[in-house]
Amino acid sequence: MENLLKIENLKLAFHGPFGRVPAVRGVDFSVDAGETVALVGESGCGKTALCRSILMLHSQHADIEEGRILLAGKDVTGLTEKELESVRGKDAAMVFQDPMSSLNPTFSIGSQITSPMRIHEKIGRREAREKALRLLELVGIDNPEARFSQYPHHFSGGMRQRVAIAIALACNPRLIIADEPTTSLDTATQDRIMELLAKLCRGEDKGLLFVTHDLGLAETIADRIAVMKDGLIVESGKTEEIFQNPQHPYTQKLLGFAKYGKGSSHYHGKVREASEPPQGAEPLVRIEGLTKHFQLGRKTVRTVLKDFDLTVYRGEIVGIVGNSGCGKSTLARCIMGIHEPSGGTITLADGCRKQMIFQDSASAFNPRMTMEQIISEPLVIKNRHMDRKALQEKVLELMDQVGLERELAGRHPYDVSGGQRQRAAIARALITDPDFIIADEPISSLDVSIQSQIIHLLKRLCDERHLTMLLIAHDRPMVEHVSDRVITMTTL
């Protein structure tokens, strides 16, 4: 079979203020035409570093110290940037893990899909538009005609991910590199995207490199699985062999985590029916008749929330679940005052202090700030005359509470793992001592072992600090794991 991708003894290291940090330590890897290969491993193991090196996307941040990367027979490590432009999007295309960072906020969705077509295929504007509309429909975007001229901020996290997939498919590449393409999607949409990717890569001349932290997900799509740990491939083989007879202890551990949150684990919360309030509890947040419209064009209005009612009682954890685009994040932003409601009321108890943990810490953090500055910023804004030493001590104490190593205080967001960034996001939300926290998809981009750590951390902090929390996610089993009540939202 033809090698679409062949990596030989690849060694890659990052360089920064803390010196050389090896990310890939000597990897041999291949994807053949007609097959799907899953690259599996936990956060920080080197999966994304390996994938980005295939298209030489590390720029000045990393060096390939040894090895070759053969893509469609060409060693990309020796190509100029001009030569790489003809490879990216045509020979291979990448679906990035974080669509909020990979999509350009200043260009419409349509222009971002049609741009690679017009560069590589030299087709006209009308033909490119028609093809883009078909792609939007293919990945499950409703009303593609209206959506074509909208911008990334008009889309939910799951919808942005589907747009990212459409962009990768724009020029019909032979190899698709999908880096955690379903982490921000609800289960139904995840299944649809997985089926779509499998269908598109089923041809004999195409291949799919599917990167994930979930072995259970890899089982549904992959012909072969390669397990990565600490920059090395520790085990690889046919999918059935990996699942029936895993050899490496790390693979065995990942197989155990694949069952976590699927109903077989212990539950902390005593989940009640949504309409049943806790006995004798004091209302902290009361939402009545909340409605929110978005103006998507001069003649297009989309209603995301309509006559929504909810009361959150002091001391409880309320889970909000639902498919991508159903209005979960819009609800959170309305409560926080980021969006102004179109109708209805949101009433907080006197003196209630609120904070939010955003869905995407990678784009919520300022990349120029250190972790210490990011965590302390809300308190600095609130109390500009606070003693610097006292502020630093409070930051370090919070880092201890959320399980974030103190030596990370001077690092920047791009120098830490996704799990470490999310712990910093939690510390940032806690620094002003809030009564009420909204956690918007705080675990969607994390691998399952880190998800379990963050969920347990949130539960512990709520108990220790007597916090009230609105926990938003699309993974119902994981939400039920710690929630007192779970409310399901549906798309209008």
Do residues 428 and 378 make contact, with C-beta atoms less than 8 angstroms apart? yes
Structure tokens at 465: 């600090």
Rounded CA-CA distance 149/144 in Å is 9
Q: Which of 252-256, 301-305, 382-386 has the highest mean pLDDT?
A: 301-305
- Residue with the bigger pLDDT between 268 and 360: it is 360
Cα torsion angle, 166, 168, 172, 175, sign: negative
CATH fold for domain 3-257: Rossmann fold (3.40.50)
Structure tokens at 161: 């991910």
Rounded CA-CA distance 407/487 in Å is 39
pLDDT at residue 254 in the model? 85
pLDDT at residue 276 in the model? 60
Do residues 422 and 454 make contact, with C-beta atoms less than 8 angstroms apart? yes
Neighbours of 268 (CB within 10 A): 17
Rounded CA-CA distance 32/238 in Å is 13
The greatest distance separating any two alpha carbons of the chain, rounded to the nearest whole angstrom, comes to 70
Do residues 14 and 64 make contact, with C-beta atoms less than 8 angstroms apart? no
The burial class, CB within 10 Å (0-12 / 13-18 / 19+), for 81 is exposed
Count of alpha carbons within 13 angstroms of residue 172, beta-carbon side = 7
pLDDT, tens only, 24-81? 999 999 999 989 999 998 877 889 889 999 999 876 778 899 999 999 889 999 999 8
Structure tokens at 120: 């590589």
User: 233 - beta bridge partners?
Assistant: 228
CATH 3.40.50.300, the chain: domain bounds: 3-257, 283-489
Parallel, antiparallel or unpaired: strands 3-16 and 19-32: antiparallel
For the ranges 90-99, 271-280, 310-319, the lowest mean pLDDT is seen at 271-280
Do residues 369 and 411 make contact, with C-beta atoms less than 8 angstroms apart? no
Average model confidence (pLDDT) across the chain: 87
For the ranges 105-114, 267-276, 283-292, 314-323, the lowest mean pLDDT is seen at 267-276
DSSP string, 362-413: HHHS-TTS-HHHHHHHHHHHH-TT--HHHHHHHHHHHHHHTT--GGGTT--G
pLDDT, tens only, 137-186? 988 888 999 999 999 988 877 788 889 989 998 998 999 999 888 776 77
CA 119 vs CA 1, 81, 96, 190, 331: distances in Å: 30, 15, 20, 30, 40
CATH number of 283-489: 3.40.50.300
- Residue 203 CB partners (closer than 8 Å, separation 6+): 34
CA 98 to chain centre: 5
pLDDT, tens only, 469-482? 999 987 787 788 88
Q: What are the strands, taking DSSP E only, across 174-263?
A: 175-179, 207-212, 224-229, 232-238
Query: What distance, in Å, lies between the first and last C-alpha atoms of the chain?
Result: 48
Neighbours of 131 (CB within 10 A): 20
- Percent over 90 (pLDDT), the chain: 51
Question: What average pLDDT does the segment 189-201 reach?
Answer: 78
Buried b or exposed e, range 435-465, using 16+ CB within 10 angstroms: bbbbbbbbbbbbbbbbbbbbbebbbebbeee
pLDDT at residue 341 in the model? 95
Phi-psi region of 57 (alpha: psi -120 to 50; beta: other; left: phi over 0): alpha
- Residue with the bigger pLDDT between 340 and 199: it is 340
The burial class, CB within 10 Å (0-12 / 13-18 / 19+), for 255 is middle
Parallel, antiparallel or unpaired: strands 468-473 and 436-440: parallel
Structure tokens at 82: 């001009």
- Residue 492 CB partners (closer than 8 Å, separation 6+): 303, 304, 305, 306, 327
Structure tokens at 454: 């963050």
